[in-house]
Amino acid sequence: MFERAKGVIKKVTLEVIYEAVEERSKEIKEKIDKLEERMEKLERKQEEDFRYLNQRIDQTNQRIDQLSQKLDEQIGQVRQEMGQIRQEMGQIRQEISRLDQKIDEQVGQLKTEMNQLRQEITQINHRIDTVIQMLSEILRR
């Protein structure tokens, strides 16, 4: 009977162990299922986040391309304007040179005229002196 009781105890013990293992297995399976569910949610969220980030990156790249294109256009305009300004500066320099030459010519002419006037004044002064001398001589007589 002892042997039989021993067998029964073994059987009961095994059943308790099996039940405990089965309950623990169920708990573990439930936890795994919950973890898998959370993992799936995380993967979906991660995919959504990546899609959103990729969309933002694409938008940013488009904006950069637009700004780069505008910048290139503006640089082209500035270069064109600089070319026009250089051309105008060249024309202004030429005009200044021409005016400088004209001023130099006019100053030269004025100097020549002044010298001629000085000579004429000197001649007139000599004539006046001569006339004064003549008058002085006439008056002395």
The answer to whether the pTM exceeds 0.85 is no
Instruction: State the residue for tokens 């309950």.
Output: 23
Task: Count the alpha carbons within 13 Å of 46 in the hemisphere toward its beta carbon.
Answer: 6
Q: What is the pLDDT of residues 60-102, one digit of tens each?
A: 999 999 999 999 999 999 999 999 999 999 999 999 999 999 9
Taking the C-alpha atoms of residue 56 and residue 53, their distance in angstroms, rounded to an integer, is 5
Where are the chain's structural domains?
1-99
Would you give the end-to-end CA distance of the chain in angstroms?
Answer: 197
